[in-house]
Amino acid sequence: MKFNYQGSLQSAIDDEVRVGDVYPAKGGSGDTAIWVVVATSGDGKSVKVLGVDTYGDIVSATGYNMHSLRSRHKIGFVKELSELAFDIDPI
């Protein structure tokens, strides 16, 4: 799986956090350049994000409290991410 982006995206603040939103990574160690929201909790209190490097590769994953992203600048959106479906085959 890979994410394609140009690295210099516009930013905007938006209170709504949804699957597909893209936020810049802040400091820290490692190669994570952006965070992509891949899931939100049913109670609206937390999100799961994938960390993506400048090559578009997934390099990390973590969870955030929803309120911590609401004040951050969004820099992009991954269309149809919430529509992805993966087949799990028996082993």
DSSP 87: -
pLDDT digits (tens, 9 = 90+) for 58-81: 999 999 998 888 878 888 899 998
Q: What average pLDDT score do residues 33-48 get? A: 92
What is the rounded distance in angstroms from the CA atom of residue 15 to the CA atom of residue 72? 9
What is the rounded distance in angstroms from the CA atom of residue 37 to the CA atom of residue 63? 9
Run of H or E including 74 = strand 73-74
pTM: 0.81
pLDDT digits (tens, 9 = 90+) for 43-58: 888 999 999 998 989 9
The predicted structure's pLDDT at residue 47 = 95
The predicted structure's pLDDT at residue 4 = 77
